[in-house]
Chain A
Amino acid sequence: MSARDEVLASIRRSLGVSGREATRRLSVETRLATAPRGVIPQRGQVDREARIALMADRAKAAHATVTVLDAMEAVPSEVARFLRDANAPATLRMGDDPQLAALPWADTALTVETGRSHGADLNAVSRAFGAVAESGTLALVSGTDNPTTLNFLPDNHVVVVRADDVAGDYETVFSRLRDSHGTGMPRTLNFITGPSRSGDIEQTLVLGAHGPRRLHVVIVR
């Protein structure tokens, strides 16, 4: 017997089942097909403005910085300001995200490059697929628009999220993913809540472990 067959056989022996029971199979199929939602915290189940406020509040609690803007056109100058205040160089890397590409980056002093990172970039901007106000979490999906390397290699990461994409809970983000990706998933979905950190030395919290030292969230109404 192959390892696969033997592992499955051992599980079945222990559970006292054959693996062919229709009720068990149906129970699994139903659960996979319906993906029932469990307990959803009330905290995120609020109207749009309250959701934006909650998103900002929770992201700050996770040591991110947050700005809320009224228009996408204001994003480049906000990114430039953030990098200036962080004493970071005026360089920026981004993917092919059409919404980001359409912005007036030329109005800033930033040198913008596009494509994935190979580790030399200090600053990057990404557009989030969505966000979860409940815990101040950003949701980013891999692809040419927003390469995953930009989420981890730079020191300073700016993430732009449309206010309409700020959900109350994770389940809503998954539901939107079902709409955009069908039954599959992108190669990588990153839930990001604050900048990288470690508490491994004497339980002292220090930011900037392996990923970005700073995470700046820009919510655009």
Chain B
Amino acid sequence: MTIHPTSAQFPANAHKALHDPQLQKAFNHVRSAFIDKRAKAAAALPEFEALRDSARDIKAHTLKHLDVYIEAYEAKVREAGGTVHFARDAAEARAAIVEICRARGARTVTKGKSMVSEEIGLNDALHAAGIEPVETDLGEYIIQLRGEVPSHIIAPAVHLTKEQVEADFRRLHLHLHPDRDLSDAQLLLTEARAILRERFLAADIGITGANFLIAETGTSVIVTNEGNGDLTQILPKVHIVLAAIDKLVPTRNDVAQLLRVLARSATGQEMSVYTTFSTGPRRAEDPDGPEEYHVILLDNGRSTMLGTEFEDMLRCIRCGACMNHCPVYQAVGGHAYGWIYPGPMGAVLTPSLIGIDKAGHLPNASTFCGRCEAVCPVRIPLPRMMRNWREKEFERHLSPAPVRNGLKLWAFFAERPALYRAATGLAMRAMALAGRTKGRFTSLPLAGGWTAWRDMPAPQGATFQAQWKARRRGHR
């Protein structure tokens, strides 16, 4: 569905998430699952760090030569009998897809999981054109039933408990007998599999995303565990690949490098179950596969990130490790971020795609703990880029007034050392006198954001510099 960004209401969204017991319960499963598995997989491969360097370099090289690689890629797709449709923005991409569907009289399309599809609001456009989109990734299917957007880029329904999924199935799968046991993940999956199997076989068109587009051969690559992306593309007559320009990589060998870090970083698997390389439509002699193959190649603001401090963000291979390891994401979940891409990668990418004026909170809502960069398979300097966004906000006077004024006041003193020492010396003594007997303050003027939740320990008294000076004088 098309989503109107609510990133500007991040604190309110976060408040809601923190008070959502289902969400908090669901997240108990995430915290250790992804993190421990990734750590184990990384430790089990001695070359892992070298592969991260290699992955970073491949993507960086591709971005520097992106125009040339796109031309090479397009020529190869054409050679294999496919078509590349360029789309400057979301509207062009939606229009191109709707046009292909209409021209073939499509009534239902199955979809593999695609974040770009969410980004362009494809499902709403298909509905509006009288075409039914069917999400086939289990998590995507669940959130489509609920009318939600993904809260995680690889685990779209990570914010839900199995009880919530059961309730949705009972509400919307009208054939279900009330006695049917749906109490665990296996039973829920069996139900979804049966429903979706029929949809796969009946679909007119299949739409997938792409993890990589290979210039060497004109190939699109998808990586899944369920096999839904494959049933989506091999059964219908038409396969449409929707992908953004940052998915380009030079060769199959380069993809092999990236695959070695992708699944390990994402789920801790050595390889995802299905890595599928698709090149053009079926060949004359092939007994199965699509008769038509289209690639919608989307820009949507990415080309303008090249050559800027945000170029490195285009290296992202969408593994989700940054959000899995982010203390803020873990606390509030993905929906609080208010658009399609959550967590640290979203905090950098979202302002690039929808504007910093609409997404100003996101790069600020980070403790700069650095764990995202520490686990990023392509070594994207996420904290640095969040700071770059803060700089842009500061330059454009978009930072909130209390923050600017507080900083200004503090900088005024900090830039005048003598005044700073005099003022802080007095202030700390005063604060110490007020707070020493208890050792802490339970409320403080101007620090409500702190003391609403925790005490502020009282200072000890004279500043270090004042005591040091006195001690020095004593020595002389």
Indicate whether A and B interact.
yes
Q: A residues bordering B, Cβ < 8 Å?
A: 2-4, 6-8, 10-17, 19, 24-25, 27-28, 31-32, 35-43, 58, 61-62, 95, 115-119, 134-137, 142-144, 147-149, 151-153, 169-171, 174, 177, 183-204, 206, 208-212
* Chain B residue contacts of A188, Cβ below 8 A: 234, 276-279, 289
Assess whether A35 is in contact with B227, with CB atoms less than 8 Å apart: no
A14-B303, A37-B253 known; A202-B161 Cβ under 8 A: yes
Shortest Cβ distance from residue B222 to the other chain A in the assembled complex, whole angstroms:
11
Query: Known contacts being A2-B86, A193-B271, is A14 close to B305, with CB within 8 Å?
Result: yes
Residue of B84, B87, B256, B304 near A171 (CB, 8 A) is B256
Nearest Cβ distance between residue B184 and chain A, in whole angstroms?
8
Interfacial residues, chain B to chain A (CB-CB below 8 A): 26, 29-30, 33-34, 45-47, 50-51, 53-54, 58, 61, 64-72, 74, 79-80, 84-88, 92, 136-139, 142, 155-158, 160-162, 165, 184-186, 188-190, 193, 196-197, 200-201, 215-219, 225-228, 230-231, 234-235, 245, 250-254, 256-257, 259-260, 267, 269-283, 285-289, 297, 299, 303-308
CB distance from A99 to the nearest CB of B (A): 18
Measured between beta carbons, the chain B residues less than 8 angstroms from A11 are 66-67, 70, 245, 303, 306
Q: Which one of B160, B189, B219 lies within 8 Å of A208 (CB-CB)?
A: B189
Given A4-B86, A135-B270, are A19 and B137 neighbors across the interface (CB < 8 Å)? no
What's the Cα separation between A28 and B71 when bound, in Å?
11
A113 vs B184: C-alpha distance when bound (angstroms): 36
Measured in the bound complex, the distance between the Cα atoms of B281 and A188 in whole Å is 9
**Can you sample 12 A-B contacts with CB below 8 Å?**
A7-B70, A7-B245, A28-B65, A116-B287, A119-B200, A144-B287, A184-B80, A187-B281, A188-B278, A196-B273, A206-B185, A210-B230
**Contact present for A203 and B33 (CB under 8 Å):** yes
User: Looking across the interface, which residue of chain A has its beta carbon closest to that of B79?
Assistant: A184
Q: Report A114 CB to chain B, min CB distance, Å.
A: 10
Residue of A nearest to B141 (CB): A200
Among B54, B72, B162, B276, contact of A189 (Cβ-Cβ < 8 Å): B276
Q: Which of B45, B252, B278, B286 contacts A43 (CB 8 A)?
A: B45
Separation of A19 and B65 alpha carbons in the complex (Å):
9
Could you tell me if B69 and A152 are in contact, using CB atoms closer than 8 angstroms?
no
Q: A200 — which chain B residues lie within 8 A by C-beta?
A: 137-139, 142, 155-158
B46 touches A7 (CB 8 A): no
Would you call A187 and B306 a contact (CB within 8 A)?
no
Q: Please state if A41 and B158 are interface contacts (CB–CB under 8 Å).
A: no
Residues in B neighbouring A174, C-beta threshold 8 A: 252-253, 256
A95: chain B residues within 8 A (beta carbon): 287
Q: Name which of A7, A10, A116 has the most chain B CB atoms within 10 A of its CB.
A: A7
A137 touches B271 (CB 8 A): yes
Tell me whether A28 and B254 are in contact in the complex, defined as CB-CB below 8 angstroms, given that A38-B58, A185-B217 are known contacts: no
Closest to B156 in A: A200
Question: Is the pair B67, A32 in contact by a Cβ cutoff of 8 Å?
Answer: no
Q: Select from chain A the residue with minimum beta-carbon distance to B63.
A: A15
- List the B side residues contacting A4 at CB < 8 Å: 74, 84, 86
Closest residue to B201 on the A side, CB-wise? A119
Contacts of A198 in B (CB 8 A): 138-139, 189, 225-226
Min Cβ gap A193→B in Å is 4
Contact A28–B250 (Cβ < 8 Å): yes
Q: Which of A38, A119, A193, A195 has the most CB of B within 10 A?
A: A38
Q: Are A210 and B228 in contact (CB under 8 A)?
A: yes
How many angstroms from the CA of A199 to the CA of B189 in the assembled complex?
Answer: 10
